[in-house]
Chains A and B, each alone.
Chain A
Amino acid sequence: MRYSVETDYKLLVRNLVQYRWFATVMFSVIALTLAAIGFFVPKTYTSSSTLIMGGETVLEPILQGGAVPGGGNQTDWSEVAEEILYSRKTIEQLMKNLGYIDGAIKTQKDEILLKRIKANISVDLTGNDKYLQIGYSDEDPAVAKRVATELTRIFIAGIHGYHTNESEEAFEFLDSQVKAYHKKLADSEEKLKEFKTSRLKTGASSEKEVSRRLDRLQERLDQAKLELHEAMIEKESLERQLSGEVRSTINLTTQSKYMKRLQALRDKLAELRLVYHEEYPDIQAIKYQIEDLERQIAEEHAGSDNIASAEDGFKTNPVYQDLKLKLSRVRTQIATLNTRIAETEKNIEEERQKGGVVHSSDAQLAELTRDYEVNKKLYEDLLKRREAARLSKAVDEQHKGLNVKIYEPAFLPRLPSGLQFIHYVLLGLVLGVLLPIILIYIYQLLDSSVKSPDAIQRKLKVPALGMVPEVCNQAETKRLARRERLRHSLVYLTFAGIAIIGVLKLLRVD
């Protein structure tokens, strides 16, 4: 069960009294130790220069969207400063300028010095990130000022270089990209040209043309077929006519005689039918005559197939000659047409094949064209950007974009900075009082022995009659008093010691 707060603090007081020697000795040790430390710690002087970073120049709004002027608000100047100032190169240069080293860092001592210098450099952003403070601390105020000035100079030179570097790098990059794309563009242009010319050579044409040609060919074919068909018919009829002519030369004479007679008979029949009845003997006789005649015609017809014999007779027939001419002409025509048809069919087949090829070639053309277009666009874009980068570079090269001003140059510090002797002394005193109290309190928390009558009463339910110190007789009282005096003198001695150290420090500096 925890003690109450009140009992806690009263108990703490008792404990402090009980262990006052411990507390006093601790106080002495701490106070004197810190005073000694303060004595040996040298005074440091810090000198710093203040720069104003950023802010808009006249150029900036003008260049908006084009070049990127330096000094943008987004840059973390303290980081940039640290990067520049803490770099080995910078410090090496500094050391050379100050005369600490000859040419380069050689020995271990130089390395240690480098580390020390680095540790003494301070970079801070103040005033809502508007001001940059570059400072250096040293025991010698003159050195502090000199180094701070030097650092500022290095920094200003550095950031111009830094930003110029950046814009230069950007420009370089874009330039290389432009070149690459230019090449790409030329390539694709070349390819396109090649393709087009090769297409032209093969006479390949677009699909539309091919289909048009196909149609035309088809038309021609159909036409030719039609003509052929006609020609065939003509030929057939001519042949027939020709063979028929042979016969008809025969038959024409006989047949025309018979036909004449037949016709006359039919006429007569018709006449008679007009007047007389069907069963009239004349009509019957005519009918028999017609029949006979017709029979005869038929017989003649059947027997007229062998023309050969009849041929000789009529070779000189003009009709026959005419027909023969016509027939040969038709035969020629037919041959021609056949050839035409065959050729046309072949052409059509060729065209069809070509059409297949044309498909893929078309696709290829489309792709190449696309390629070219894209490359062209990219190239143009990169060109634009490159020009912007070029502009930025130009701006930087002439320091027109970055706005850095020295607000306050490095000054010669007259007052030391950081912890000084008095601080150490005060720290020692405060710590010397607090630390023992804290330690004793911790001891109190851990202490399980009985030191409070209230606790006894509470925990054991037995009345606590009181708490008394030991009975001391005079001798013991005297002894106690002596010891107390000794302890008090220890405290006075501590203060005296601190004072002496302080005086020594003052004397030492002077």
Chain B
Amino acid sequence: MSRSNIGRVLEKIHADTALRDGNGEQNHPQRQRRFDYEDGVVSRSVEAREQIRRMHQPFVFTNEEMDARHLVHEGDGNAEVSALLKELRNQITQSHPGLGATVLVTSVGAAEQSSVLARNLAAVLAADENHTSLLLELWDNDSRLTDDEHRTPGLSEFIDSDDLSVGDVIAPTGIRRMRTVPFGGVSFVNDEYLRAIRLRILIKDVTRRCPRDRFVIIDAPPIDRVLDVALLNEYADQIIVCLPYGKVSISEIRKGLGKLERDKLMGTVLCGAPRLKGFFERLAK
């Protein structure tokens, strides 16, 4: 729909639901102004939608490609994960209505599973037409979202060289409305890179880009491995901690959680539980 059409529809809506000021009288000039104001807001969200729609989407993942990247999709037998993701998405969007948020996904010893969770979360958040998501890969693990074909310079390159700008490292993914800042090709010896100024710049920029509709998912390394989590705590609005099933003890978890800001902790997810089929599923419910 064109902008003028939208305007007419809204006009009608506003005409029906009569605008009232404190006295209950309709004040045309005010209404006009309000309408304009409203129009501005509406137009801005509309504009945003337009922008979103017009986002560059060079390629789309096929089901096989989704599979290869452990991205959940319809009918792939990962219904439980799917349900959980939807639940998480609801929680996130409800706590930040009309705005975007930065969600940190980390783990205590769960390694790849937290990355998988992070990217799936990003995917599910991007499923809504009104939102976009950006997956920021903070660490290098074997699981790859972007393959060599569409390799772009990533986070590590950005930190490494001053020449790159933030826009250079943001890459599209095969999922509509989902962007990513891949980790990149440069490998670091230790996690000193987490303290780099360049990283700060990157994150700051990324999280402030589109505040109204962008969800930034930071795929963070396991916090029991990272020494300095200040950065993580600073930029995250919410933190999800992924825990591997049957591999950590309570004390380890407690230690890990202690590093994170309590208020921002959204919760824990137990990943890698045994799959229960049929009879057993009913038994364990």
Contacts and interface: CB of A to CB of B under 8 A. Distances in A.
Contact of B81 (A449, A460, A465, A471): A471
Interface stretch (B37-45, B228-236, B270-278): B270-278
A100 B23 CA distance: 123
B76 A474 contact: yes
Contacts of A448: 249-250
Interface string B243-254: 101111110011
A466 B275 contact: no
Interface string A454-469: 0111011011111111
A279 interface: no
Interface range for B: 35 or more
Interface stretch (A9-17, A74-82, A83-91): A9-17
Given A14-B274, A459-B250, A468 B243 contact: no
B265 A462 contact: yes
A470 B250 contact: no
Contact of A450 (B68, B250, B283): B250
Contact of B268 (A17, A447, A462): A462
A384 interface: no
A475 to B, nearest CB: 7
A450 B284 contact: no
B88 interface: yes
Interface in A380-394: none
B248 A464 contact: no
B120 interface: yes
A465 B276 contact: no
A468 B80 contact: yes
B257 A462 contact: yes
B248 A467 contact: no
B273 A450 contact: no
B270 A471 contact: no
A472 interface: yes
B223 to A, nearest CB: 13
Contacts of B249: 448-450
A456 B265 CA distance: 14
B167 interface: no
Contacts of A466: 84, 87, 269-270
Given A13-B283, A473-B76, A451 B245 contact: yes
A508 B61 CA distance: 65
Interface in B72-97: 72, 76-78, 80-81, 84, 87-88, 91
Contact residues of B: prevailing secondary structure: mixed
A164 B268 CA distance: 88
Contacts of B116: 470-471
A449 B274 CA distance: 14
B253 to A, nearest CB: 6
A473 B248 CA distance: 25
A383 B267 CA distance: 103
B49 interface: no
Contacts of B76: 472-474, 477
B70 interface: yes
A18 B246 contact: yes
A356 interface: no
B240 interface: yes
Contacts of B87: 465-466
A481 to B, nearest CB: 10
Nearest to A475: B67
Contact of B266 (A13, A17, A463, A474): A463
A28 B172 CA distance: 53
A464 B270 contact: yes
Given A460-B253, A464-B268, A464-B270, A450 B246 contact: yes
A378 to B, nearest CB: 86
B88 A17 contact: no
A14 B84 CA distance: 19
Contacts of A418: none
Given A17-B274, A449-B246, A462-B257, A467 B77 contact: no
Interface in A237-252: none
Give the one of B246, B267, B273 with max A CB within 10 A: B273
Given A450-B250, A468-B80, A473 B70 contact: yes
Interface string A1-27: 000000000100111111000000000
Given A473-B67, A475-B67, A468 B253 contact: no
Contacts of A459: 250, 254
Contacts of B276: 13-14, 17
B250 A13 contact: no
Contacts of A472: 76-78
B268 A14 contact: no
Nearest to A464: B268
A469 B273 contact: yes
Nearest to A473: B67
B267 A465 contact: yes
Contacts of B270: 450-453, 456, 464, 466-468
Contact of B280 (A13, A464, A475, A477): A13
Contacts of A468: 80-81, 84, 269-271, 273
B113 A470 contact: yes
A470 B77 CA distance: 11
Given A469-B80, A469-B271, 7 more contacts: A14-B274, A451-B273, A452-B270, A460-B257, A463-B267, A470-B113, A470-B272
11 contacts: A14-B273, A14-B274, A18-B246, A451-B245, A451-B270, A460-B268, A467-B269, A468-B84, A468-B270, A469-B272, A470-B272
Q: List the 9 closest pairs (A to B, CB-CB), nearest first.
A: A473-B67, A463-B267, A465-B267, A467-B270, A18-B274, A13-B284, A17-B274, A466-B84, A469-B275
